[in-house]
């Protein structure tokens, strides 16, 4: 039966889909009744607490099989991904830096890309915390998976300032503007949009 879901902190469309029995989060996100939400949020991975998501009826799949035998069925379930970019205090990527990422009981090792990025996929939707260590640099960060709010929300731009090593307030926003050579009369909306472009880079400032 169709229903609605009110988003809590840390939820994204994949976790909501899993909770309501959908293997494909896009079946919910792309539903016509969620057009208003799509227009506001743009990305199914960045929702705000209090957003209301329409949950359509799940389509049932019927499979015929012989009786008196054992059968295996494989179900595809929505997973969570971790995407983060590291830059230094000058905004330069921390490229080719060895890392260890720990999510629940899963440990992944690798190197940051040329752009300082880390992309790891396939974690359980219930996982909300990760420990990320840049081993050669001695840098360790705790990541809250799915907790980044939309950048137009006050909580969202404050989170992005903190991720970049600034104070999460108007003073920090002014520091960000000066560091990136924005004119003094730059509107706050333009600065928030610029923060969004830089926001996936937890900097070791």
pLDDT in tens, the chain (205 residues): 789 999 999 888 988 988 898 888 899 999 999 999 999 988 898 899 999 999 999 877 788 888 888 988 877 777 888 988 888 877 788 999 999 999 999 999 999 999 999 999 989 888 889 999 999 999 999 998 888 888 888 888 898 888 888 899 999 999 989 988 899 889 888 888 888 777 544 443 4
For residues 132 and 111, what is the distance between their CA atoms, to the nearest angstrom?
Answer: 12
| Residue 113, burial from CB neighbour count under 10 angstroms (0-12, 13-18, 19+) | middle
Q: Say if residues 28 and 34 touch (Cβ distance below 8 Å).
A: yes
Q: Which residues, listed in sequence order, are joined to residue 80 by a DSSP beta bridge?
A: 123
- Predicted confidence at residue 99, as pLDDT, reads 97
Q: Say if residues 118 and 130 touch (Cβ distance below 8 Å).
A: no
3-state secondary structure of 73: coil
Q: Which residues, listed in sequence order, are joined to residue 110 by a DSSP beta bridge?
A: 99
Give 61's contacts (C-beta < 8 A, 6+ positions apart): none
- Predicted confidence at residue 79, as pLDDT, reads 80
- Predicted confidence at residue 203, as pLDDT, reads 41
CA atoms within 13 A on the CB side of 163: 24
Q: Say if residues 137 and 149 touch (Cβ distance below 8 Å).
A: no
- Predicted confidence at residue 199, as pLDDT, reads 59
Q: Which helix (H) or strand (E) holds 103?
A: strand 98-103
Q: Say if residues 158 and 48 touch (Cβ distance below 8 Å).
A: no
């Amino acid at each position: 039966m169709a229903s609605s879901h009110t988003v809590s902190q840390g939820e994204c469309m994949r976790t909501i889909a899993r909770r309501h029995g959908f293997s494909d989060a896009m079946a919910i996100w792309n539903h016509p009744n969620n057009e208003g939400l799509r227009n506001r949020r743009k990305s199914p991975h960045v929702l705000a607490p209090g957003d209301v998501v329409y949950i359509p009826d799940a389509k049932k799949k019927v499979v015929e099989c012989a009786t008196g035998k054992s059968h295996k069925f494989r179900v595809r379930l929505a997973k969570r991904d971790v995407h983060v970019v590291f830059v230094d205090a000058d905004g330069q990527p921390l490229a080719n830096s060895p890392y260890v990422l720990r999510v629940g009981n899963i440990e992944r090792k690798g190197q940051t890309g040329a752009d300082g990025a880390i992309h790891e996929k396939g974690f359980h939707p219930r996982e909300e915390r990760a420990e990320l260590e840049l081993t050669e640099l001695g840098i360790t960060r705790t990541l809250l998976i799915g907790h980044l709010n939309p950048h137009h929300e006050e909580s969202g731009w404050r989170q992005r300032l903190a991720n970049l090593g600034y104070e999460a307030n108007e003073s920090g926003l002014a520091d960000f503007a000066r560091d990136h050579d924005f004119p003094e009369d730059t509107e706050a909306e333009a600065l928030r949009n610029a923060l969004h472009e830089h926001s996936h880079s937890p900097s070791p400032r």
